[in-house]
């Protein structure tokens, strides 16, 4: 029975849609608005802060609840920034959605994947992605099913053969009837499984979870202990006991730091979205900033996936006009549309001429194709070894340069046998083609090399071709290559990764194993890919990057999609990630000072039976003027230096000397200052402000115009608030004796800070030396 090749009618499409036989809408890669609000509102930090506010409200300490304004502002800013990022990313994701060519009412149209109907007739040709499972009803295809089988060899699909989504068409043209849509498709199920298996790799996220767990573990028992000590042992009224305890607990919570991280990442995503770089996982910005090994596929990354004709070598004495006319007629009659034929058609523009009577499509398996013309003969296009046997010397030299060649030949007879070649083919031309290197590819690779990122080139092509492409792209200095097809069944991937930079004849499974080996060796690995054969390796990589004109499956599971399909934009992603990590690390140093001294001072107060020396409104002023204000004004600064060290150890090592200094000064003043309690607390608070400001000034070095402005306005704003609202902040006027003590405290603080930094630096150096010796001994 002959299949209907006109496709579905408009009435059938509408009926099938009503029956639910169409694809589902594109999955949202961003969180919904409700989920964003929920994730910003219902956090452990917010719960603890609101719990403290409830206790203060219960005892009527309303002025000390002002910190809630900062919490609410944090929530509003976080939600607004994520909404903005979501809008841009959703708009870009529309450009990233696949379209499918379907035949309806006899006309070929392109529709979104979600509009494909079960029973639709899809039109597939060379280069098409198979987006829905289907059955071939006419024509023939050669399909790459490496994702399904792990084998990169082409699979011939003829009438009645099943096609699976996630495959791609290498050659041929056919119509196929859709059997599965939406989530029923093979590729959709596979992509969803891959997404579920891959966890978010984020040092910032892990670090904040550790800080959250630590403070949550301490805050409840310390809060209860401080309250009982103030109420039972110090005989303080309930209100004073609650206020004192609340101040200690508020200091332990780095309230703005979680917001700072999310806003920094969202700002980076927004900047990249404007460059048409789609970040599908917000934390991949940070991950790529830490990458020290970048794995690149040759085709679609270093090269743009296109070929160009660089030489045409005549091989016969026939008049050139006649041969060109026949070759152009061949190009008009053949349906092949892969990169080779696109380059040939550019050199020999398709032009209707002699009437074609039979066509054998080009096949990568037989490595030739032909078109027979009525009363003329047959034009053949194929690999040199197939059409002419022994390669001439000049063609051998071209092949040694990593180029490829096809031969155009002619036979006077009409040829219809696709299983064998006729004898006596007269060669007309040898056409030499080469891959097109992307503009700025060499500059991009030099950037990664300069920044300490090792580049590995992984390709399924011949070693000579891959090596020459790598050399043309500027990798000749470190271009040791290996042919993976010669490595046996169980290659030593760890050894190969250490020894080589270029890998050829690589199967999809071998790509995955190479990435795994690099990760076993402690590398942070990014993988770029454009085809379904890259999917397994993309899943394994710490950061996966796809190009927009690649396969749908690779785009679905990748964390970053280059919508202009140009890997030379990757440095922008790396630099944005570095901005985020550097700015968050620098500002986190100031946030952690308060956490450190709040814990240490609380323990000191418990041991010496003293109330916590500060109140919540005082901590709120430090939060707003010394932590939040400088942090959020400098968060968009462009610090793109190479990242060294881990976020949490780096931030804590810079914060610890200041936190210890604050604690030491409070201990000294608590035990020895000859003042009344309000005066002593005022001196302590002013010293706390000065030491915290010194930390901000230190983090702003070297000064820029913006940083100098921030430091000056921070100091002016803080002291102006104390001057204008002394009663609110419960500070007393500074006497001459208090001023002398304050000056003495500043000098002592400087000495303690210097000694603490030296001790911690020496301790860190010993730890590093011991670790290196241990590693050496192993």
Query: 431, 514, 500, 513: which is closest to 470 by C-alpha?
Result: 500
Grouping H, G, I as helix, E, B as strand and the rest as coil, residue 48 is helix
Question: In 673-704, which ranges are continuous DSSP H helix?
Answer: 677-699
Peptide bond into 247 cis (omega under 30): no
* CA–CA dist 731, 722 (Å, integer): 7
Q: Distances from the Cα of 403 to the Cαs of 152, 307, 340, 362, 434, in angstroms? A: 21, 10, 12, 20, 5
Task: Name the catalytic one among 297, 435, 534, 566.
Answer: 297
Q: Contact, 351 vs 332, CB < 8 A? A: yes
Going by DSSP bridges, is the β-strand pair 99-104/121-125 parallel, antiparallel, or unpaired? antiparallel
Q: Nearest 5 degrees, angle CA 728-CA 729-CA 733?
A: 105
Question: Strand, coil or helix: what is 409?
Answer: strand
With beta carbons less than 8 A apart as the criterion, state whether 247 and 79 touch.
Answer: no
Q: Are 143 and 149 in contact (CB under 8 A)?
A: no
| SS3 state at 452 | coil
**658 with 692: CB under 8 angstroms?**
yes
CB 714 within 8 A of CB 696: yes
Q: Are 247 and 614 in contact (CB under 8 A)?
A: yes
Nearest to 649 by CA among 702, 585, 587: 585
Strands 560-562 and 368-373: unpaired
SS3 letters across 555-592: HHHCCEEECCCCHHHHHHHHHHHHHHHHHHHHHHHHHH
Give CA–CA dist 207/293, Å, rounded.
Answer: 23
Taking only Cα atoms into account, the Rg of the chain, rounded to an integer number of angstroms, comes to 34
CB 549 within 8 A of CB 565: yes
| Residue 489 DSSP label | S
Question: What's the length of the chain?
Answer: 778
Q: Which two tokens stand for residue 82?
A: 């994520």
> Rounded to whole angstroms, how far apart are CA atoms 651 and 227?
31
CA distance 280 to 320: 53
Of residues 636, 602, 635, the one with CA closest to residue 619: 602
Among this protein's residues, is 534 annotated catalytic?
Answer: no
Residues with active-site annotation: 297
């Amino acid at each position: 029975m002959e299949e209907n090749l006109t496709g579905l009618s408009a009435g059938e499409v509408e009926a099938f849609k009503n029956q639910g036989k169409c694809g589902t809408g594109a999955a949202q890669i961003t969180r919904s608005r409700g989920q964003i609000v929920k994730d910003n509102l219902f956090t452990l930090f917010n719960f603890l802060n609101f719990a403290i506010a409830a206790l203060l409200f219960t005892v009527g300490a309303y002025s000390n609840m002002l910190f809630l304004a900062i919490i609410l502002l944090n929530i509003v800013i976080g939600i607004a920034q994520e909404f903005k990022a979501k809008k841009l990313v959703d708009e870009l994701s529309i450009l990233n959605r696949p379209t499918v060519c379907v035949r309806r009412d006899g006309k070929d149209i392109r529709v979104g994947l979600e509009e494909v109907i079960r029973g639709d007739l899809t039109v597939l040709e060379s280069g098409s992605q198979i987006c829905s499972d289907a059955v071939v009803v006419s024509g023939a295809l050669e399909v790459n099913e490496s994702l399904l089988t792990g084998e990169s060899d082409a699979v011939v699909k003829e009438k009645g053969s099943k096609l699976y989504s996630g495959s791609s068409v290498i050659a041929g043209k056919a119509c196929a009837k859709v059997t599965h849509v939406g989530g029923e498709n093979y590729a959709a199920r596979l992509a969803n499984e891959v997404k579920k298996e891959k966890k978010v790799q984020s040092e910032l996220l892990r670090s904040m979870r550790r800080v959250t767990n630590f403070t949550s573990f301490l805050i409840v028992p310390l809060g209860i202990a401080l309250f009982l000590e103030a109420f039972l042992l110090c005989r303080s009224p309930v209100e004073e006991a609650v206020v004192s305890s609340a101040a200690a607990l508020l200091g332990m919570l780095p309230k703005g730091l979680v917001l700072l991280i999310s806003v920094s990442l969202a700002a980076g995503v927004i900047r990249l979205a404007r460059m048409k770089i789609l970040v599908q996982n917000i934390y991949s910005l940070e991950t790529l900033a830490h990458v020290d090994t970048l794995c690149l596929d040759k085709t679609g990354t270093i090269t743009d996936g296109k070929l160009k004709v660089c030489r045409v070598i005549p091989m016969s004495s026939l008049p050139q006009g006649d041969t060109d006319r026949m070759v152009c007629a061949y190009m008009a009659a053949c349906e092949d549309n892969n990169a080779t034929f696109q380059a040939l058609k550019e050199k020999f523009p398709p032009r209707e001429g002699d009437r074609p009577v039979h066509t054998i499509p080009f096949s990568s398996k037989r490595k030739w194709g032909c078109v027979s013309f009525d009363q003329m003969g047959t034009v053949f296009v194929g690999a040199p070894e197939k059409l002419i046997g022994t390669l001439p010397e000049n063609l051998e030299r071209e092949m040694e340069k990593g180029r490829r060649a096809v031969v155009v030949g002619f036979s006077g007879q009409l040829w219809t046998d696709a299983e064998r070649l006729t004898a006596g083919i007269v060669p007309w031309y040898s056409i030499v083609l080469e891959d097109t290197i992307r503009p700025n590819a060499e500059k991009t690779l030099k950037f990664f090399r300069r920044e300490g990122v090792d580049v590995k080139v992984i390709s399924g092509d011949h070693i000579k071709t891959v090596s020459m492409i790598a050399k043309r792209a500027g990798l000749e200095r470190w271009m040791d290559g290996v042919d993976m097809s010669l490595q046996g069944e169980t290659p030593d991937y760890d050894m190969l990764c250490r020894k080589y930079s270029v890998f050829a004849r690589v199967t999809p499974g071998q790509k995955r194993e190479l990435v795994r080996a690099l990760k076993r060796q402690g590398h942070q690995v990014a993988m770029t890919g454009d085809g379904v054969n890259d999917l397994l390796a993309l899943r394994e990589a710490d950061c996966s990057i796809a190009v927009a004109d690649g396969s749908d499956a690779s785009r679905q599971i990748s964390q970053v999609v280059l919508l202009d399909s140009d890997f030379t934009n990757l440095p922008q992603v790396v630099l944005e990630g570095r901005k985020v990590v550097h700015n968050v690390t620098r500002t986190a140093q100031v946030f952690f000072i308060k956490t450190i001294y709040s814990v240490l001072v609380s323990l000191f107060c418990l041991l010496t039976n003293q109330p916590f020396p500060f109140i919540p409104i005082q901590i709120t002023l430090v939060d707003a003027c010394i932590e939040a204000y400088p942090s959020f004004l400098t968060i968009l600064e462009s610090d793109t230096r190479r990242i060294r060290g881990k976020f949490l150890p780096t931030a804590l090592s810079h914060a610890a000397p200041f936190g210890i200094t604050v604690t030491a000064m409070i201990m000294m003043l608590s035990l020895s200052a000859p003042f009344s309690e309000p005066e002593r607390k005022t001196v302590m608070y002013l010293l706390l402000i000065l030491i915290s400001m010194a930390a901000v000034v230190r983090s702003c070095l070297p000064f820029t115009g913006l940083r100098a402005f921030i430091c000056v306005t921070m100091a002016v704003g803080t002291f102006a608030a104390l001057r204008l609202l002394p009663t609110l902040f419960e500070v007393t006027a500074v006497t001459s004796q208090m001023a002398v003590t304050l000056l003495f405290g500043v000098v002592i603080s400087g000495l303690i800070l210097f000694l603490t930094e030296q001790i911690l630096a020496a301790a860190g150096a010993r730890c590093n030396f011991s670790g290196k010796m241990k590693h050496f001994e192993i």
